A and B are shown apart, each in its own frame.
Chain A
Amino acid sequence: MATLSDLKISEVKLSTEESGKWGMVIDQDICTGCQACVAACAMENNLSFVGEEDAGYGRSMHWIRIERFWEGEYPEVKMTPNQPMMCQQCGSAPCEPVCPAFATVHSQAEQLNLQVYNRCVGTRYCANNCPYQVRSFNWRDYERPEPLPNQLNPDVTVRRRGIMEKCTFCIQRIHHAQDQAKAEGREVMDGEFTTACAQACPANAITFGRMDDPKSLVSQLAKRQGGGKHLEELGTLPNVTYFKGE
């Protein structure tokens, strides 16, 4: 029997175990760019409300963004499909090795890329090394205007300034579902819960679930023809699959 030390590092990284436990499929063809996922994510995860001035400067805090592009020269422009972009929860994440304080780490249990907020000292190296540019930095301690403090999610920490934060695939919901399933003595069922962005999407463009379960909706969808991952050539092993018809 091969032990772990017999394997080369690349083999370990590419083994099925590392290829992701939780995954997401995004169908860009049915995404309307309505930003409901952005709002839902902000509410679920206690994101800072940065205010008009900083938002104008480009510092609005979001863990998911809808990218829009166009092709051609004005006036002959053609819109391309909207592209929701969040942390791709890479199997081999470039952000992880560069953090000097171990604030961004790989979760062996969840196969997610986690940010340990209270360990972060704010060197921002992880953000520079993230090819997807999906990590956001807390530039200030922003005030939440009333009545926003009333809807803070008690399951999620409120981050302060000077640290990095990012999409966690709503790990609080994952944990909640796992605890529930464990209490009832079963595995987490497919479709039992989903992330805030997937839940809020009116067009059902986002599907979330277990990638290691071949029967789950998300792994069935991911196996369809024509799916792609962003910047796969970098070897980051992202866990989000995008579908975009021409």
Chain B
Amino acid sequence: MAYAKKEMENARVEHSAHSEEHFREKHLMLDPLPRGKMNEMVMESMHHTTWKFWVVFGVLSAVTVYTLFYSWGVMIAEGLGVAGVNRPVYWGIFLVNTVFWIGISHAGTFISAILRVFKAEFRRPFTRAAELMTTFGLVQAGFSIFMHMGRIWLAYWLMPYPNQRMLWPNFHSPLSWDLLAITTYLLSSTMYLFLPLIPDVAMARDRSTGWRKTLYKVLALGFRGTEGEWTHLRNAMNIFAFAIIPVMFSVHTIVSWDFAVATRPGWSSTIFGPYFVIGALHSGMGAVVVVLAIVRSTMKHMKYFIRAEHFDAIGKLMLIISMSWAYFFFNDYMIQWYGGDKWTKQLLHFHEAGPLGWMWFAMLILNIAIPWAILWNAKWRSIPWLISVVGIAINVGMWFERYIIIPISLSINRMPFTWRMYEPGIEIPLGIGTLTFFILLYMAASKLIPLIPVWEVQEGQMAHELKKFGRETVVTVSELE
């Protein structure tokens, strides 16, 4: 009896030693490399530029110049007549893209602020990759919203600025709220991107020469890594992490009010605030996964930093968000249907059975069926290409969702004489242009600033350890301060 007990004890020790090894292989936080080596790896991935990069960069530049800047120039010169928007569909793909890009930008803040506040440690290696998406996504949203204006050269009239005639913007208008919310979000998320970047550019400054040295010298603001500097940085980051969360929620809520406040059937829905926020997180997380998979496969040494565990963790988040989105979608339709307004009833019927009914069904498949089917499986959601497929599916699905809310819902109004379908014109190249410009900015950034927050990874590795609770070995994190 005693012999058997000892055997079992031995086996358990062996097993735990094995699983400890297994843990180290699997978790970045338990697999530390020398810090100099890690810094070097990040610097090399910034310098390491293959001919493929330049080919893609060149093609995307050409496409962007033609689709975004040339087409926009044509539209400014000719008027909005070159676009497909037409009565009664006054808002078309421009606004769809605006909502879409603001949605994409939500994931960065979600990952870096909410997960930081909740101490979800898996976020450490990819916060910057996500934050860059926030800033660049907002740039595209800005492009899209300015493109849609009839007289873009007078866009500054929407700003409250002192003038002799005492003219103010109309603060009753959701578009004025939009402008303030998006500007606040762009400024705060850019600052929040910059703060955790300081120690990394300081690292890059110490390891580079030439024009890069000058650039990083300016960006690092003289950061040397003294105790006082770290304390200040930590305080600033803590303040920003908490302060930016309400900003993030407010931005997409306010974007939803553009629709919810209007009297249109299909728009006037009280659930739109949280529905849009969760939709934004849905598309944003999908985009983060795609970006991470591309970064991991194209950039050097990124396989060390971004691992299956990260895709697994984001996959779980995506699954939960997809379920929440399904709830809000159902809620929105249920309450509109129950309202019994004859125009809304007509519109709901048009959504599913109209000429673009396929889009409605595709939206449900791409946003609910595909994520639930694939993300439920822990093994599947850890495979980068498979989860990127889910990410792309979600993004297409969410784009469809916004397309259904904006141009398709606008086709049906209370004056049946004016009912008309929307046929996009120059909106399509302009939309492609925002996408390619987003990728271009991202590619440029990946070569200019460290895409991986190395200091955060190193900090996490210092604080992580394996602890045994009874028989179980658990990865834990100890407080640094």
Instruction: Name A residues whose Cβ lies closer than 8 Å to a Cβ of B.
Output: 54, 57-59, 65, 67-69, 83, 85, 94, 97-102, 119-125, 127-129, 131-133, 136-141, 161-164, 231, 234
Q: Are B90 and A124 interface neighbours, CB within 8 A?
A: yes
- Asked whether B253 is an interface residue with its Cβ less than 8 Å from the other chain, the reply is no
If A98-B262, A101-B158, A140-B81 touch, does A131 touch B415 (CB 8 Å cutoff)?
yes
User: Given B80, B175, B262, which contacts A139 in the complex, CB threshold below 8 Å?
Assistant: B80
- Asked whether B220 is an interface residue with its Cβ less than 8 Å from the other chain, the reply is no
Residues of chain A lying within 8 A (CB to CB) of residue B90:
124, 127-128, 137
Residues of chain B lying within 8 A (CB to CB) of residue A54:
81
Output the nearest chain B residue to A134 by Cβ-Cβ distance: B415
Q: Are B417 and A85 interface neighbours, CB within 8 A?
A: yes
User: Given B79, B86, B155, B264, which contacts A128 in the complex, CB threshold below 8 Å?
Assistant: B264
Can you report 25 residue pairs joining A to B where beta carbons are below 8 Å apart?
A59-B87, A65-B417, A85-B415, A98-B174, A101-B169, A121-B150, A121-B154, A123-B150, A124-B91, A125-B173, A125-B175, A127-B87, A127-B88, A128-B264, A129-B262, A131-B413, A132-B414, A136-B87, A137-B87, A137-B150, A139-B80, A140-B80, A162-B149, A163-B150, A164-B150
- Asked whether B78 is an interface residue with its Cβ less than 8 Å from the other chain, the reply is yes
User: Given A100, A119, A131, A137, which contacts B176 in the complex, CB threshold below 8 Å?
Assistant: A100
Interface size on B, residues (CB 8 A): 41
> How far is it, in angstroms, between the C-alpha of A215 and the C-alpha of B414 when the chains are bound?
34
Output the nearest chain B residue to A129 by Cβ-Cβ distance: B262
CB distance from B441 to the nearest CB of A (A): 26
User: Given B170, B261, B263, B418, which contacts A100 in the complex, CB threshold below 8 Å?
Assistant: B170
Residues of chain B lying within 8 A (CB to CB) of residue A58:
86-87, 420
Q: Are A102 and B415 interface neighbours, CB within 8 A?
A: no
> How far is it, in angstroms, between the C-alpha of A192 and the C-alpha of B137 when the chains are bound?
59
Q: Are B410 and A128 interface neighbours, CB within 8 A?
A: yes
Q: Are A129 and B264 interface neighbours, CB within 8 A?
A: yes
Q: Are B262 and A128 interface neighbours, CB within 8 A?
A: yes
> How far is it, in angstroms, between the C-alpha of A58 and the C-alpha of B155 when the chains are bound?
27
> How far is it, in angstroms, between the C-alpha of A52 and the C-alpha of B420 when the chains are bound?
19
> How far is it, in angstroms, between the C-alpha of A162 and the C-alpha of B173 when the chains are bound?
19
CB distance from A161 to the nearest CB of B (A): 4
- Asked whether B179 is an interface residue with its Cβ less than 8 Å from the other chain, the reply is yes
- Asked whether B151 is an interface residue with its Cβ less than 8 Å from the other chain, the reply is yes
Flag B397-436 by CB within 8 Å of A: 1 or 0 each. Answer: 0000000000000100111111010000000000000000
- Asked whether B157 is an interface residue with its Cβ less than 8 Å from the other chain, the reply is yes
Q: Are B150 and A120 interface neighbours, CB within 8 A?
A: yes
Q: Are B173 and A97 interface neighbours, CB within 8 A?
A: yes
Residues of chain A lying within 8 A (CB to CB) of residue B169:
100-102
CB distance from A5 to the nearest CB of B (A): 19
- Asked whether B172 is an interface residue with its Cβ less than 8 Å from the other chain, the reply is yes
> How far is it, in angstroms, between the C-alpha of A123 and the C-alpha of B262 when the chains are bound?
14
> How far is it, in angstroms, between the C-alpha of A132 and the C-alpha of B88 when the chains are bound?
10
If A139-B81, A234-B263 touch, does A119 touch B149 (CB 8 Å cutoff)?
no
